[in-house]
Structure 1
Amino acid sequence: MASQIRYFIGNWKMFGIPSSIKILDKINHYFKQDKKNNRKYKVIIAPPHTLLQDFSYKYKKKKIFICAQNCYYKDNFGAYTGSISPFMIKKTGVSYIIIGHSENRARGENDKIIKEKILLCLKNNFNVIFCIGENKNEKKEKMTTKVLKRQLKSAIEKKYNLRKIVIAYEPVWSIGTGRVPSSYELRKNIITIKKFVKKHFKTRHEPKILYGGSVDKKSVYNFKSIKELDGFLIGGASKSSKDFIDIIKNFYK
């Protein structure tokens, strides 16, 4: 049986200029030195679109992967001012892309658009980081399971290559708040997602499930015992090489 590979994905959001590549250089230096554990995890960094090509070029033959934060849901060239298609992003050398992040959902990105984006990304041979999660009111009304299943069913089809999709569970009420679910609650939701994906989409593939939401070295340490957890989607802490490295260190401590 193959050993479990964990993902540490840094989402920089609207942060970063060309000189920010120094952050990646420090992370890459640590990765190369971490000979005890560096075969157990994968580092992926999602800078703004303006940095994708430069970062991808520099890290083309290294072990840090570059990821896009979003894309448009049309793949042809056309009158879509300010938009970037999956095809255009692919030409930067990037192989990963985040779709369905809660901050984009809050700006009007609905399930239909997310489905179209995922389909286009798979057609362009991307590895998709697909974000799902309940908001504060949905959690309060005990609708978490219903919401997660709806988001999964509405965006993924049985014909899709599920090996190209990594699911990031990011409860909206946790993002940027410092609040995180208990280990029991997180494990319960991860197991729910894994069981639903395997049953509904009739696959033997074991889906990869990440956690995102106020991820820091403390929360990672608390969640390290959850064997069903395949890694983390990291926001604010990924903008600091020290904080990002501390997260990896604490997980393997």
Structure 2
Amino acid sequence: MSPLIETQEIGAIRCIRLARPPVNALDADLCRALIATLETAFSDGVHGVVLAGSPKIFSGGLDVPYLMSLGDDRRAVLECWQAFFGVARLLAGSRVPVVAALTGHAPAGGCVLALCCDYRVMARSVDPAKPFAIGLNETQVGLVVPEGIQRLMRRVIGDHRAERLMVAGDMISAEQAHAIGLVDELTDVDDVIPRAVAWLEALLKLPRQPMLATRGLSRQAVVDALSPDVVRLETFVDAWWEPETQTALRALIAKLKK
């Protein structure tokens, strides 16, 4: 097992926890480790998966400092994004239900992975003045939200609300996310994984084949949204070196260092 991933067996359910401090930033290694761990879980015949993060953070999204360190190496940048979308497609096309256990903040790529799951349980912060946040904040760091990811957000919260949030790059609190249906359930941090497991256990009590077949039909739009011809990853990566984008990304890195 990769040191970047921790797993726990809970009956027929496997809990897969991201373990790359401090914020579970998604670099190529973590994405590939997650792909391998998910594929192993599926081949082992688990009946459900819980995808979790660390206390106070689910995932900070793509590892921007790592990506920027690659400079003009287009191939390396493309490979990192391919690994990320590999995780997203694996979650979207999973033949068993997957719950996102959002143990804290879930910006950008963290939000994308959550949108690929069947159900989302998010933690409420113990400090109301510092709520946990979720959202697609790509425009704030100079990136375009690809069409495929936009489809995922629109599917969950509706066209107009998704447009408003994505165009502005807004991050919203866990409470707001629950109110608009971006997350399905809100609970205390320590209860996020138990609630995710409880939802899966209830689902798994249903007649298995009819449930899985209905689920597959219902989630076809998720799979279709992440098809290569919709995401157009090559075009997205080409825009990585646009002057405005690079300026915004450098500003983000400077902010992260403070």
TM-score, normalization by structure 1: 0.32
Question: Whose helix proportion is higher, 1 or 2?
Answer: 2
